[in-house]
Amino acid sequence: MIPLDLDHPVWEQVYMVAPLTIVGTREPDGSYDLAPKHMAMPMSWQDHYGFVCSPSHATYVNARREGCFTVSFPRPDQILLTSLAAAPRCNDDHKHALQAIPTIPARKIDGVLVAQAYLHLECELDRIIDDLGDNSVIIGRIVQAFVAEDSAREVDRDAQEMIAHSPMLVYLHPGRFARIVETNAFPYHVGFKR
């Protein structure tokens, strides 16, 4: 083992596997913003989902103002769309690249979701935890969720077969992505309980 330099973020010195999601929020002018997020995960065994964001970003400001956000889990063949969501704003303060991303309307909140993503979450803002260095954690309560039929877990369906047929996109921070097509059952110890 070698020591890491704590004058630099640990997460910039190793690769870490994370989901790659696209968070949607409503802008003040009524349009919608989409932004990729990889520091994102379920925040409880119940229906809470959260992500890390900077208070200086529109996603943070919009989610706080509107009280809601959407989360889309893109498929591996949507990596270029995910990249477009990371486009910088132009001089008119809009991300014109978002026009190339097909979306569908959310059903329970005012928002949009990325069309053809394998999982959609609609969240009402639950809380924001500020002052984590330069960042914050935005946590929502899931009020609506949809999964693509080919990505739904089913008791009588082999997990490996499902994942091979419907691969998942992950982000390897910093700057890489992967397509998960092969997995193995976790070897839980006898008597394990969550």
The structural domains of the chain, with segments of one domain joined by +, span: 17-180
> How high is the pLDDT of residue 6?
95
Assess whether the previous peptide bond of 174 is cis (omega < 30° from 0).
yes
CATH 3.60.20.10 fits 17-180, yes or no: no
Q: Kindly write down the DSSP assignment for every residue of 96-129, as one continuous string.
A: GGGGGS-EEE-SSSS-EEETT-SEEEEEEEEEEE
Query: What's the confidence (pLDDT) of residue 180?
Result: 95
**Cα dihedral sign for 59, 142, 173, 177?**
negative
The ranges of the chain with pLDDT < 50 are none
pLDDT tens per residue, range 144-174? 999 999 999 988 889 999 999 999 999 999 9
Would you call 147 helix, strand, or coil by DSSP?
strand
Return the pLDDT at 53. 97
Cα separation, 53 vs 58, whole angstroms: 9
Q: What is the pLDDT of residue 155?
A: 83
pLDDT value at position 154?
Answer: 87
